[in-house]
Amino acid sequence: MTNLSGMLPEFGQLALIFALLVAAVQMVVPLVGVRRGQAWLMAYARPLASAQALFLIISLVILAYCFVVDDFSVAYVAKNSNTALPTAYKISAVWGAHEGSLLLWVTMLGCWGLAVAWFSQSLPLDMVARVLSIMGMVSVGFILFTLETSNPFDRNLPSMPQEGADLNPLLQDFGLIVHPPTLYMGYVGLSVVFAFALAALLGGRLDAAWARWSRPWTIAAWVFLTLGIALGSWWAYYELGWGGWWFWDPVENASLMPWLVATALLHSLAVTEKRGLFKSWTVLLAIFAFSLSLLGTFLVRSGVLTSVHAFASDPERGVFILALLGICVGGSLLLYAIKAPTVASVGRYEWVSRESFLLLNNLLLLVAAFAILLGTLYPLIIDFMGMGKLSVGAAWFNFMFVPISVLLALVIALGAMARWKADDLKRLGSETVAAMVAAVLLGLAVPLLADGTMNWQVLLGMGISFWLIGATLLDVWKKARGRLNRIPQLGMSYLGMVLAHIGVAITIIGVTMVSNYSIEVSARMAKGDTETLGDYRFEFVDAGHIEGPNFVSDAIRFRVYDGERQIALLQPEKRRYNASGSIMTEAAIDVSLLRDVYVSMGEPLADGAWGIRLQVKPFMRWVWLGAIFMSLGGLMAMLDKRYRQRKNAPNNAVQASTAQEVTA
């Protein structure tokens, strides 16, 4: 028994190898079935996908178990865990570094395959076979990468360490338990959309039915991406200790780019489903979205971000991912080049129509994604060419992202309310007059009420948000023909869209307010000192020591007063982690819907004084609240009943005809 449990890591690796073999079969057999028109071969796709997922899950669970029982004979566990680490963090340490993150990545890929296998009952068998075969290809590439370059089950034998090196203290936190899995679910979920697009290209069936199948999967991946990005921002905000919530850091950019393209894809899919237009464009977006999530993986995992030279010193991983990226992007674009010209989009639309507005929204989103790509890769290219070291400042990203967002917000409301085929600007204008007036008045009022000076950024940000909310609600009111009880009948899909668009406005409000009206002061404070910031007064009550499970910390108690009323007792900490000796700042935050009060400790100075950073950040929560609205909206749209139609559902002519093709 002891022998067997001692061999657990080998079983984990074995499960991973089995998963690779199953994925290889999944890649080949169903496609052969499609080629030969043999349904029994195609039917292998679903059980193979399930088996692959099962093996991957076994492998991941075994790795987690090795962490829980402190099996330091496994090199990855020894590097990223410690006996004193709380159990929850031992489990999240599974994805705390490179090897385990990759295992999580491929396991999620397997789980998405499993989901496709289960929830594709209404799909024709040849489509399922193609989709799962393409997902099998992606799996083969990434499991091979994991086994070849980053095996999490590598052993420290025969001399295993008695104690582990500990998980990076930054990552010992609730945010890290949830942020990476959510984000990865989004990244990897885009592989389903990608597989659907390629399968449709292969089968020459880019039609409304294909768009309808792809939509819920795209939305699902997008919801995870949205939540993952928001969680990452929230985590950075409270854990890095200085209250920044977006840094235009390459790793963040790597997650924002696929999000922007996936957002464009969602809207383009809507046009393809409803009007049969933009087909090749939609396919291209699906390819781009997944390629960008692979590029993100490459940037984060290859080491090029720390330095192009780090890439050169450990080239195996980087070259492998770069090759995968090349095969994936190159192969799919080649297929696109061969097949897309045969795809004709029929149907016409006028300059002023929902199609045009959605196209404009697509272009804006793509320009934003491209600009971020440029800003992220530019320093790498310059460095690679030996032209010096430079960095692109946040100022540049803001400079280009803000105007695009403003234009985008303008178009969002119009796109949602305009009619298909042809509409009239006058009609759109007359129906939204109330929203325009409200937007201008409220946009003017907010900066004047806030500090009495006219701030055009605030005017623009607030105006655009009020316009978006106002126009969206006016449209709901009109569609419900002025009756509240008719609103639920408008359909989950439409209401989900409304919620998501309002979410965009909420995020813009948050970003505008927190960027323009945040105040902060860094001060030298000792016991008994008080400091005033805005309406708030901070009193340094006393300082003390705290013994944590695997750290010791200096802590300070602050009383925060609004006038004479005490509103919060805050206790920031400066932690020192025993195993690694790392120092960590734990900020203390008093949260409310209208403002965050943020206190963090700097360094100890002479005579028991500390450098203290105090911040008041208005509407901070709105930035993430908007993301929650967007995700809920996505969730509602996914639940729309038209995605759950079975084969025998009425007026489903498209699927009936495709079913005939298969049997023919």
Partner 1 sequence: MHPKRKKRLTLILFMVLGVGSAVGLLMYSLSQNINLFMTPTQIATGEAPVGRTIRAGGLVEPGTVVRDDSGLGVRFVVTDGQSEVTIAYDGILPDLFREGQGIVAMGKLGEDGVFVASEVLAKHDENYMPPEVQEALDKAHKDGKQALEEARY
Catalog residues that contact partner 1 under the rule CB under 8 A. Answer: 168-170, 241-242, 306-307, 309-310, 348, 363, 367, 370-371, 374-375, 378-379, 388-393, 395-396, 399-400, 522-524, 580-585, 602-603, 605-606, 611, 613
The smaller minimum CB distance to partner 1, of residues 68 and 543, is found at 543
What's the CA gap between 363 and 359, in Å, rounded? 6
The smaller minimum CB distance to partner 1, of residues 389 and 481, is found at 389
Enter the tokens of residue 596: 């965050």
Q: How far is the CB of 277 from partner 1 (least distance, A)?
A: 12
The smaller minimum CB distance to partner 1, of residues 387 and 653, is found at 387
What's the CA gap between 116 and 120, in Å, rounded? 6
- The dihedral through the CA atoms of 538, 544, 547, 551 has a sign that is positive
The smaller minimum CB distance to partner 1, of residues 375 and 633, is found at 375
- DSSP alpha helix (H) spans, 452-543: 456-479, 492-517
The smaller minimum CB distance to partner 1, of residues 360 and 567, is found at 360
Enter the tokens of residue 64: 């987690």
The smaller minimum CB distance to partner 1, of residues 379 and 491, is found at 379
Q: How far is the CB of 583 from partner 1 (least distance, A)?
A: 4
- The dihedral through the CA atoms of 286, 291, 294, 296 has a sign that is negative
Q: How far is the CB of 582 from partner 1 (least distance, A)?
A: 7
Question: For residue 173, what are the CA distances in angstroms to 67, 76, 170, 450, 586?
Answer: 16, 19, 7, 35, 11
Q: Which residues contact 541 (CB under 8 A, 6 or more apart)?
A: 527, 556, 557, 558, 559
Q: How far is the CB of 204 from partner 1 (least distance, A)?
A: 23
What's the CA gap between 255 and 128, in Å, rounded? 28
What's the CA gap between 54 and 58, in Å, rounded? 6
Q: How far is the CB of 399 from partner 1 (least distance, A)?
A: 6
Q: How far is the CB of 615 from partner 1 (least distance, A)?
A: 11
Residue for token pair 């920044």: 244
Q: Which residues contact 345 (CB under 8 A, 6 or more apart)?
A: 276, 277, 278, 279, 280
The smaller minimum CB distance to partner 1, of residues 546 and 605, is found at 605
Q: How far is the CB of 345 from partner 1 (least distance, A)?
A: 11
What's the CA gap between 499 and 634, in Å, rounded? 8
Q: How far is the CB of 584 from partner 1 (least distance, A)?
A: 6
Q: How far is the CB of 574 from partner 1 (least distance, A)?
A: 8
The smaller minimum CB distance to partner 1, of residues 522 and 652, is found at 522
The smaller minimum CB distance to partner 1, of residues 386 and 563, is found at 386
What's the CA gap between 35 and 60, in Å, rounded? 35
Dihedral over alpha carbons 442, 444, 448, 451 (to 10 degrees):
90
Q: How far is the CB of 398 from partner 1 (least distance, A)?
A: 10
What's the CA gap between 598 and 409, in Å, rounded? 30
Chain-centre distance for alpha carbon 568: 33
The smaller minimum CB distance to partner 1, of residues 11 and 242, is found at 242
The smaller minimum CB distance to partner 1, of residues 68 and 407, is found at 407
Chain-centre distance for alpha carbon 393: 23
Q: How far is the CB of 610 from partner 1 (least distance, A)?
A: 9
Q: How far is the CB of 152 from partner 1 (least distance, A)?
A: 21
What's the CA gap between 213 and 327, in Å, rounded? 26
Pick from 133, 67, 146: which is nearest to 105 by CA? 146
Reduced to 3 states, what is the DSSP secondary structure of residue 98?
helix
What's the CA gap between 278 and 356, in Å, rounded? 11
The smaller minimum CB distance to partner 1, of residues 493 and 518, is found at 518
Under 8 Å between Cβ of 411 and 362:
no
What's the CA gap between 108 and 103, in Å, rounded? 9
Q: How far is the CB of 107 from partner 1 (least distance, A)?
A: 27
Q: Which contacts (CB < 8 Å, 24+ apart) does range 383-391 have? A: 383/307, 383/308, 384/308
Dihedral over alpha carbons 184, 185, 186, 192 (to 10 degrees):
120
Enter the tokens of residue 57: 């899950």
Residue for token pair 């192009």: 308
The smaller minimum CB distance to partner 1, of residues 376 and 515, is found at 376
Q: How far is the CB of 223 from partner 1 (least distance, A)?
A: 29
- DSSP β-bridge partners for residue 346: none
Q: How far is the CB of 402 from partner 1 (least distance, A)?
A: 12
Terminal C-alpha separation, the chain: 56
Amino acid found at 239: E
Neighbours of 100 (CB within 10 A): 24
Amino acid found at 78: A
What's the CA gap between 210 and 13, in Å, rounded? 37
What's the CA gap between 389 and 307, in Å, rounded? 10
Q: How far is the CB of 372 from partner 1 (least distance, A)?
A: 10
What's the CA gap between 16 and 146, in Å, rounded? 9
The smaller minimum CB distance to partner 1, of residues 17 and 360, is found at 360
The smaller minimum CB distance to partner 1, of residues 156 and 580, is found at 580
Enter the tokens of residue 598: 């943020």
The smaller minimum CB distance to partner 1, of residues 391 and 657, is found at 391
